[in-house]
Amino acid sequence: MRKRTVTPPFPALFPPLLLTVSLCSFAALCVLHRAPMADLLVYRAEGAAALRGGDLYGLTVTRWRLPATYPPFAALLFVPAGWVPLPALKAAVLAGDALLLAGLVALSARLVARRLPPPLLCTATALALWLEPVFQTFLFGQVNLAVTCLVLWDLLRPPGARAKGLVLGLAAGVKVTPAVFVLLLFLRGRKREAATALTGFAATALLGFLLLPAASTDFWTRRLYETGRVGKAWIVDNQSLQGLIARALHDPVPGPAWVLPATAVAVAGVGLAARARRDSHAVLLTAFTALLVCPISWSHHWVWCVPLLAVLLAEGRVRTAALVGLVFTARTMWLVPHAGAQDLQLAWWQQPFASPYAILALLLPVACGTMISRQNHSNEQTGKTTCSRSFRSARR
C-alpha cells in the first residue's frame, strides 16, 4: 500500500497569518503613538457642518488647524460619521481601509488581466500595507483607497456595461482630481462613457447646490482655486512637481518655473495615455500625470503605486518592480531635514531623497514614450519585411 503524503497545514495558513500580523502590528502602532487620524476628524467636522448648516469652508480642525478641502457633495457623504462614537468610527475606518486595500490589490490584478487566488491576495495585501502612501492613508483616515477603488472598478467594467462611467463621475464629485480620467475616456474614443461620467459629476455638484447652496457657491467660485489653503506646497509632504521645483529652487512660490514644466508634463502625459496600446499603461500614465501636475499631491495620494507594481510584475519587470517598491517603502522624504522651513534649505544631493515620487513619476512618460517608439519601429520593420517578401513572391 502507498503511504498517503500529508501536506503540512502551515503553508496554507501562512498568508492569512501574515495578513493578521501585519494588520495587528499597524493597529498596535496606532495605539502606542495615539494616532489622531487627523483627516478623519476633518471629514467628521465637515459632516456635522453640512448637517447643522455651519460654515463648511470656514472651519478648522485639530491642532494643525486643518480646513475642509473637498466639494460639498463629499461633506454630505460624511454626515453619518458624526452619528458614531469616535473610537468606534476609527476602528470601522481601519477595518474598511483593510478591505479597500484588498480590493485595490484585486483590482490591480484585474488591470493586467489576472485573478489572484486568496493566499496570494492575503500576502500582497499584507505587504502593500507598508508602502508609505498606503500606510499614511490608514494613519490619517484618508479616502484615497476608496476613491482609487471606485475609479479602477468603473474603468475595468466590460465595454458597454450599464451606466459605465457613472461611478467615475461620483468619485470626481468626492475628490475633483479623478475628473482627469474623463478626459482619458474621451481621448481614447469612449465618448459615451465620458459623457456618463460627466453627467454623474454634474449630478454631485447639482445635489450640493440644492442642499448646501452657500457652501457650493463658495467652493466652486473660490475655494477650489485657493490651493494655499490645503497646505504649504514646498514641504516634503508634497510630492508633486510644484513641490519638487519649489524645494530645488529654494523658492516657496516658483510661479512660471513650475507652471511651464507642469503644462508640458500634462500635455505629454495625457498625449501618451491617449496613444498607449495597453489600457493599463493609459490608466497609470493618467493617474501619475495628475499627481505630478496637481499643485499639491501629498505622499498619501500616491496609492496608485499599488497598480503600478501589479503592472510591472505582470510584465515580468521584477527588478524594476523591486526598485519601485523600495522607493515607495523607504520613506526618504521623512529622513531629510524638514522641520520649520528646512524643506527650502536642502542641499542638491538631498533633493532626490526629498522628492522620490515626483522623480519616479517623471520617468514614466519617458519609459512609455520609448516603448511606443520601439513598437512603432518594430511595426515599420515588420511592414518592410512583409512588403519585401510580397515583392519577391510577385517576381517569382
Q: What is the pLDDT of residue 384?
A: 56
Share of the chain above pLDDT 90, in %: 79
pLDDT in tens, 20-50: 999 999 989 888 878 889 999 999 999 999 9
pLDDT in tens, 194-214: 999 999 999 999 999 999 999
Give dist(CA 95, CA 76) in Å, integer: 22
What are the two backbone dihedrals, phi and then psi, of residue 276, each rounded to the nearest 5 degrees? Answer: -60, 140
Give dist(CA 369, CA 106) in Å, integer: 28
**3-class DSSP assignment, residue 326:** helix
Reported confidence tier of residue 117, pLDDT bands at 50, 70, 90: very high
Q: Is the pTM of this model over 0.85?
A: yes
- Alpha helices, H only, the chain: 10-32, 38-52, 72-77, 86-111, 118-128, 132-140, 144-155, 166-174, 180-187, 191-211, 213-221, 241-249, 256-275, 279-293, 305-314, 318-330, 351-354, 356-395
The alpha carbon of 261 is separated from its chain's Cα centroid by a whole number of angstroms, namely 21
What are the two backbone dihedrals, phi and then psi, of residue 238, each rounded to the nearest 5 degrees? Answer: -85, 110
Residue 387: pLDDT over 60: no
| Helices vs. strands in the chain: H and E counts, helices first | 18, 2
